[in-house]
Amino acid sequence: MVVKRSDLFFENVWHGLETQNLQKYLTIIVKKHRFLPRSEVESDPNWQQIIPYLIFENQGKIFLMRRKSSHTDRRLSNLYSIGIGGHIDKEDIIKSTKSMKSTRGTKGNELIFNWAKREFEEEIKYDGQYIANFLGLLNDDSNDVGRVHIGLVVKLTGDSPKITVRDEHKSGKLVGLEEAGKNYKKMETWSQIVYDFLVAKMKKAGDFSGILPDCRAGTYRFIDTNRGLPDDAMEEINLKVGDPFILEPGAFAIATTQEDLKLPNDIIGRLEGKSSLARLGILVHSTAARFDPGWNGAPVLELGNLGPKPAILYCGMPICAFTFEKLSAPVKMPYAGSRSDRYSGSKKPVPSKIEKHPSTSSGQVGRRKKK
């Protein structure tokens, strides 16, 4: 089952879990869906494949699955998931709507729950009853898999912990939300988005211990500037021209320009942001806008999102500009090769090397000895 991207996103494109105006989007799916061979749409972003994405919960624990290395979709092998989901075929619709005269005359929520029930029973062996609650529609344009799918996220609250996966290429178990968070970095992006939604909902309800952020960020609570960044503080993401990158509210990322910059010994460069991005709350540099005489390499962008919504940036888009100032005389010690040189010559983003800065913690200064 697919729907045209232009039909679904006729007003605007969102990233993440959309929980507003759901009936409008469900009406589009019900009225305008069609069935096409999966081979034709698997890599075509003009089509959104409809995927029921089910979150099972029992007594505060959620069902966490892991796709084994033998999983059929190599792009998702060894990744964790809190969502039970799969494609909808025409035969599936016929089976799940036998009691209905037509899917196109049926209310959206009723269809969603029928599709969810069929998917759950097909993927999962469960001994018990459950209540279904439709959470929203999930869109993720940050990777090739997400770009061609749209998720119908349904939470199933069950009365029994007796649940297993039917697929031999997957494993699963019930775990607490905090324990699931320890595998956050190894989750597929859809699960990360839904997980963040569940955590935010628990925080709002006051039912949250506050331990989880430490698990997701690593095992550290702060960054010691004398020791530098922990090994798991940053993740490298490689993009091609035109690829999207989702910058979440409050998130920080470093990137480089496509152009290299080489400054002579009598020129200072300054990186300036773009007004249109600034009006969206997007920072292009945090504080380090100056490039000293003798700099050589790809300028680094210190990206931040101060806005309330995720921002989609695209590799290769115009994102900054430079101004230059000429000194009255060349510097005697250019940046490249100097004591403060930690990033010169780099062609890709380099994490902070603050631990290599000269230490000023002792508060001592040099003093000439008396003769």
Q: Which amino acids are annotated catalytic?
A: 302
Tokens 């959206």 locate to 108
What distance in Å separates the CA atoms of residue 53 and residue 51, rounded to the nearest whole number?
Answer: 6
Q: Is 80 exposed, middle or buried (0-12, 13-18, 19+ CB in 10 A)?
A: buried
What distance in Å separates the CA atoms of residue 63 and residue 144, rounded to the nearest whole number?
Answer: 25
Q: Would you state the structure tokens that stand for residue 158, as one six-digit string? A: 């069950």
What distance in Å separates the CA atoms of residue 147 and residue 136, rounded to the nearest whole number?
Answer: 17
Q: Would you state the structure tokens that stand for residue 5, as one six-digit string? A: 């991207």
Radius of gyration of the chain (CA): 26
Q: Would you state the structure tokens that stand for residue 139, as one six-digit string? A: 């869109």
What distance in Å separates the CA atoms of residue 275 and residue 200, rounded to the nearest whole number?
Answer: 32
C-beta pairs of 127-134 under 8 Å, 24+ apart in sequence: 127/160, 127/162, 127/163, 128/158, 128/159, 128/160, 128/162, 128/163, 129/158, 129/159, 129/160, 130/56, 130/156, 130/157, 130/158, 130/159, 131/156, 131/157, 132/156, 133/157, 134/22, 134/109
What number of other Cβ atoms are within 10 A of residue 238's Cβ? 7
Q: Would you state the structure tokens that stand for residue 130, as one six-digit string? A: 């459950």
3-state SS class at 271: strand
Query: Which of 109, 108, 128, 1 lies closest to 56 in space, CA to CA?
Result: 128
Angstrom CA distances, 90 to 34, 93, 106, 110, stand at 9, 5, 16, 17
Inter-residue contact 268 to 324 (CB < 8 Å): yes
What distance in Å separates the CA atoms of residue 235 and residue 185, rounded to the nearest whole number?
Answer: 9
